Structure 1
Amino acid sequence: MNAFAGTSAYYRRFRPGIPITLAALLDQAAPTDSPRRLLDIGTGPGLVVHALLPYFDDLIAVDAEPGMITEAEALLRPALDTAHRLQLRHSLAEDFLPPEGWQPHLVTCGRVFHWLNQSPFLDRLSEYLAPDGVVAVFSDRSLWTADTPWQQATREVVQDFLGEQRKAGDGVFSTPGPPYEEVLRASAFSHVTSTVVVPVRRQWKISQVLGYLYSTSFAAPHLFGDRRDAFELAVTNALAPFADSGVLTEDNAFTVLTARRPSPPEGR
């Protein structure tokens, strides 16, 4: 089973999108061409594409989970105008090939790089990324890895119900591989920027935290079976002492790497 099976509707409703400052940073990192092409890998319900619509007019969004493609269609189509061209593709990132001659100027991998077979994906990407194109890899901390007291309390409830080890759908979350910067430097896109950090502050209601949990691979709805009501009550009871007038505050940050091919030596 796909690790995110059954999470797509929750992902669209409860996962935060990317902040305006990050969208502007991605815009500035990519070359300007017309038409300006964006390829979003692991698009989910299209949150990154939606944030980048002001900057790109020819867009392809790819995801391996059919439900995510359905949600992306619902989110993105109403936001398009006549200047936009959008294609939604159901595919693994490592298998995806764009239409012949279509070369993206920016490829975004938001909250997805860990899930990819990274080296084969980057090898395939080198076949079709525009010569001066940019790969952007970015993510924020998930509730599992965040460290505020209320987030730790939430994680402990998940572990009480599903076990100490982090789930990934019906499987187990794999140990992270080499640092992303190292993986990128070993690829065709070896010119890597230093990490940029984009801070973000969010406020949550307890019901939104539950919706967020159901959008994740480690707390997907089907994992709880007939114990969902008990799980929701346990989360509510655990978070109530931390809520200020019903609100939980989170300070998070996106870490961003951009990479491109190295410039050819002068004279060539």
Structure 2
Amino acid sequence: MTDRAAFHWDETLYAGSADHYAIGRMPYPGAVADVLRTELALDGRGRLLDVGCGPGSLTLLLAPLFDAVVGIDADPEMLRRADRAAERAGIDNVRWHHLRAEELPGGLGTFRVVTFAQSFHWLDRPRVAAAVRPMVASGGAWVHVGATTHRGEPGNDPLPHPRPPHDEVDALVARYLGPVRRAGRSLLPDGTAGGEEEVMRSAGYQGPRRFEVAGGVVRERTEDEVVSAVFSLSYAAPHLFAERRPEFERDLRALLRMASPNGRFSERTRAIELVVWQP
């Protein structure tokens, strides 16, 4: 089965998760912007397109590196959250569009850089790769940002507070929703599709160049942040629990309090991979 034939859009994928995503996901470090500024010779000029921008976590970090920025997402709640975050931060060079990646180019024009942060695996990848290629300006770049921001690195080294009990939380989610991973209305027994490099090369891109932003920074996390991190996941989005959501959250908080009675947790951030392609 081809990647395109296997693709099924589901608007409920992150339904109800926007506020939780903004609270529960750890922020991208400033080093992501520093690496891209250096490696792509960004100088404050040109335009950025952030595809699947969510609540604007990466969009707003990179906005100062460009004249103008466009963030698109298929979830209107994510865009409302992103717009509020931009206003609070005093960032006024970003415009948000309620648009699926599969609808590109969407009359948006060309861009110096196009970013996909934790989003490309949810898309009709061959279709999106082909549509975006002519949108990348001469000398420009497509950047995949590979990151895990809802939980930190596993480990046993001592930290100021206990690590969140991620394995136990996953077991609790499975107890409520079943052992097969959920994703909106669908099931993902084998996870999302791989083979990203083949998709990109088939669409005519050159590369990639890879850069790593080191993790290992210790961050303190509150009980509320860990709860939101769970609800920010496609396989644990609030709507999946239906009328049992309050019961699940009570059980989740009880589990977290057993691990840390004062509601404080510590985690080391994970490394982030930046994968750069040229059309």
**Normalised TM-score (structure 1):** 0.85
Does the aligned pair in 1 maintain the 2:220–2:267 contact within 8 Å?
yes
Mapped to 1, the partners of 2:97 and 2:27 lie a distance apart of: 20
**Aligned residue in 2 for 1:257:** 275
What SS is found at the alignment partner of 1:213? helix
| Displacement of 1:163 | 0.8
Q: Does 1:123 align with 2:139?
A: no
Q: Tell me which amino acid in the other structure corresponds to 1:237.
A: A
Does the aligned pair in 2 maintain the 1:26–1:136 contact within 8 Å?
no
**Aligned residue in 2 for 1:264:** none
Does the aligned pair in 1 maintain the 2:122–2:192 contact within 8 Å?
no
How does 1:49-68 map onto structure 2 within 5 Å?
49-68=59-78
What SS is found at the alignment partner of 1:38? strand
What SS is found at the alignment partner of 1:72? helix
Mapped to 2, the partners of 1:163 and 1:255 lie a distance apart of: 31
Mapped to 2, the partners of 1:16 and 1:50 lie a distance apart of: 14
How many residue pairs are counted as aligned between the two chains? 258
| Displacement of 1:142 | 6.0
How does 1:54-203 map onto structure 2 within 5 Å?
54-80=64-90, 84-97=92-105, 99=107, 102-141=109-148, 147=154, 150-173=165-188, 175-194=191-210, 196-201=212-217, 202-203=219-220
Does the aligned pair in 1 maintain the 2:45–2:67 contact within 8 Å?
yes
Does the aligned pair in 1 maintain the 2:20–2:229 contact within 8 Å?
yes
Q: Does 1:226 align with 2:236?
A: no
| Displacement of 1:190 | 2.0
Change (3 A) 1:96 1:141: same
Change (3 A) 1:34 1:46: closer
Unaligned runs of 5+ in 2: 1-10, 156-163
| Displacement of 1:198 | 3.0
Does the aligned pair in 2 maintain the 1:63–1:92 contact within 8 Å?
yes
Mapped to 1, the partners of 2:267 and 2:222 lie a distance apart of: 11
After superposition, give the CA deviation of every residue in 1:191-247 in whole Å (9 maximum; x if it has no partner): 201352531533322221111212221111122222223212222232334338532
Mapped to 1, the partners of 2:227 and 2:44 lie a distance apart of: 42
Q: Tell me which amino acid in the other structure corresponds to 1:92.
A: R
Mapped to 1, the partners of 2:180 and 2:165 lie a distance apart of: 19
**Normalised TM-score (structure 2):** 0.82
Mapped to 2, the partners of 1:36 and 1:8 lie a distance apart of: 29
What SS is found at the alignment partner of 1:133? strand
Change (3 A) 1:31 1:116: farther
How does 1:231-242 map onto structure 2 within 5 Å?
231-242=248-259
Q: Does 1:24 align with 2:34?
A: yes
Does the aligned pair in 2 maintain the 1:31–1:132 contact within 8 Å?
no
Mapped to 1, the partners of 2:130 and 2:65 lie a distance apart of: 27
Mapped to 1, the partners of 2:152 and 2:126 lie a distance apart of: 25
**Aligned residue in 2 for 1:8:** 18
| Displacement of 1:33 | 6.1
| Displacement of 1:99 | 4.0
| Displacement of 1:108 | 1.0
Mapped to 2, the partners of 1:225 and 1:74 lie a distance apart of: 27
Unaligned runs of 5+ in 1: 262-268
Change (3 A) 1:143 1:72: closer
Mapped to 1, the partners of 2:220 and 2:152 lie a distance apart of: 18
Does the aligned pair in 1 maintain the 2:181–2:191 contact within 8 Å?
no
Deviates more, 1:164-173 or 1:151-160: 164-173
Change (3 A) 1:195 1:172: farther
Mapped to 2, the partners of 1:67 and 1:157 lie a distance apart of: 27
**Aligned residue in 1 for 2:8:** none
Identical amino acids, percent of aligned pairs: 26
Change (3 A) 1:142 1:59: closer
| Displacement of 1:131 | 1.2
Mapped to 1, the partners of 2:234 and 2:192 lie a distance apart of: 15
